[in-house]
Chain A
């Protein structure tokens, strides 16, 4: 999936991979790639400003942790972030249901063609 198509859903993707627990930037990137089976194409460098923005909006919190010689900034969902993720999921389900009804009406049992 091209990076332009992914960009509109980046916030939801980042919130979703942080749902199980805190992760640092590179671990978030690998989690997105692992969950998508490598199907999502995105410039991984753009994830860092996106994480900064989500923190500014109060959806994430972060703290710096020392790992070996490096300091890593670990992000975790706030309560507002969990609520935001629930909204993203609802919006995504409504969107895919609506588009699916039009694109693939036969595959949807109980729907007249």
Chain B
């Protein structure tokens, strides 16, 4: 079916309007909209099979289904939780990996007698601590929005809290890596520093983008 043909279909129009109203992880959102579009098409087909003209059948199906304005809030609630979990997962996966990379630099500098300067070491340790605490909070978030949510309601402010936790973790990752890269007394550890910088750039990009979307979802 052509793009113009799909747009002319009222079911496709409904799906496009719903997709435009929702914010959240791209894959989860696409799957939810696809599933709902097919459900609406099934409902319209059921009316058509009973002899109702197509346009009228779609109107009836939409009335039973709920308008986009009626349905979108419950979809958005679920997508907001999905985005919160996505951000938490990104922090949980990236922060420990970076801390493992930083550890050799923090522990021994470039070798005996060439340790990191004290202030740089202190700053890097504190920033690593921030990233570790963020990772711990992210683990708690995954538990609180997963099976634990059967027993405990998900706190209303959790998505925004996770968004800012992710942002903080992302900033701490960048600062810690820069501190280690600048303060390392020689290029003896350059492969590790280069690797840590590259990993940090990737991790920061993922965490920051996810945290930004999490803030958007929390405010939608």
Please tell me if the beta carbons of B65 and A49 are within 8 angstroms of each other in the complex: no
Q: Which residue of A lies closest to B35 (CB)?
A: A73
Please tell me if the beta carbons of A58 and B146 are within 8 angstroms of each other in the complex: yes
B39, B42, B75, B145: which has the most chain A beta carbons within 10 Å? B39
Distance A102 CA – B17 CA, assembled complex (angstroms):
48
Question: Chain A's interface: helix, strand, loop or mixed, by majority?
Answer: helix
**Residue B77 CB within 8 A of the other chain:** yes
Choose among A26, A53, A70 the residue that contacts B78 (Cβ–Cβ < 8 A).
A53
Distance A56 CA – B28 CA, assembled complex (angstroms):
12
Question: Chain B's interface: helix, strand, loop or mixed, by majority?
Answer: helix
Distance A48 CA – B70 CA, assembled complex (angstroms):
13
**Residue A111 CB within 8 A of the other chain:** no
Distance A71 CA – B28 CA, assembled complex (angstroms):
15
Cross-chain pair count, CB within 8 angstroms: 74
Distance A25 CA – B85 CA, assembled complex (angstroms):
24
Q: Which residue of A lies closest to B71 (CB)?
A: A45
Q: Which residues of B contact A46 (CB under 8 A)?
A: 66, 70-71, 74
Given contacts A45-B65, A56-B81, contact A26 B39 (CB under 8 A): yes
In this complex, how many residues of chain B approach chain A with their Cβ under 8 Å: the count is 30
Q: Which residue of A lies closest to B43 (CB)?
A: A26
Choose among A45, A72, A80 the residue that contacts B147 (Cβ–Cβ < 8 A).
A80
In this complex, how many residues of chain A approach chain B with their Cβ under 8 Å: the count is 23
Distance A91 CA – B65 CA, assembled complex (angstroms):
29
Q: Which residues of A contact B85 (CB under 8 A)?
A: 56
Q: Give a binary string over A37-50; 1 marks a CB under 8 Å from any B CB, 0 the rest.
A: 00000011110111
Interface on A for B, CB 8 Å cutoff? 25-26, 29-30, 43-46, 48-50, 52-53, 56-59, 70-73, 80, 84
